[in-house]
Amino acid sequence: MAEDNQDQQNVEITPGTKEFGKMVFRLNNEVNAENISILNYNGAELEQIQDGVYAQPAFVSDDFNLFFVVTQLIGDDWIVAFSKATIENGNEITDLSDPLPTGEGLNLLGQVSADDANKLLSYFGTLADAKRGEWRLIE
């Protein structure tokens, strides 16, 4: 098992590919009041929308809206996923899609705005470098 895990960590998966769509970003710690601010992105803060479920805008435009959704999606692991959002009247979030794997959300954003997708990828790189989380391939 340890060898399989080691092999998985050494595989380079390129953003924009089908394989990258199966990647999730797993946080090393649960989200709580003391550490929630470390996940702030682009001046936005995570807001608790349900018990144990947090969301914040990642990309908002006239025709495509992507939100971070942070929750325990896979067992006890806290995952940063994405959700497509419907916004009405300029600021009312009326619908969030089911969570998308982190890589799938980034791939979707890359089709709309490669620059913003790269900024988000850099954000996740910063979190990984600070040992706040890591990329995982979901089976």
How does pLDDT run across 1-14, given as a tens digit for each residue? 344 444 445 556 89
Q: What is the pTM of this model?
A: 0.87
Residue 20: domain span: 2-137
Residue count (the chain): 139
How does pLDDT run across 44-72, given as a tens digit for each residue? 999 998 899 999 999 999 889 999 999 99
How many Å is the maximal CA-CA distance in the chain? 52
From first CA to last CA, the distance across the chain in angstroms is 15
Q: CA quadruple 58, 60, 64, 69: dihedral positive or negative?
A: positive
Q: Quote the tokens at residue 10.
A: 């050494």
Q: What are the strands, taking DSSP E only, across the chain?
A: 23-27, 47-50, 53-60, 65-74, 77-88, 92-96, 133-137
Distance CA 86, CA 53 (A): 18
Q: How many domains does the chain have?
A: 1
State the average pLDDT for the chain. 88
- Helix 102-112 to helix 114-129 angle (10° resolution) is 150
Q: Quote the tokens at residue 44.
A: 């936005």
How does pLDDT run across 84-137, given as a tens digit for each residue? 998 887 777 778 899 999 999 999 999 999 999 999 999 999 999 999 999 999
How does pLDDT run across 28-42, given as a tens digit for each residue? 999 988 899 999 999
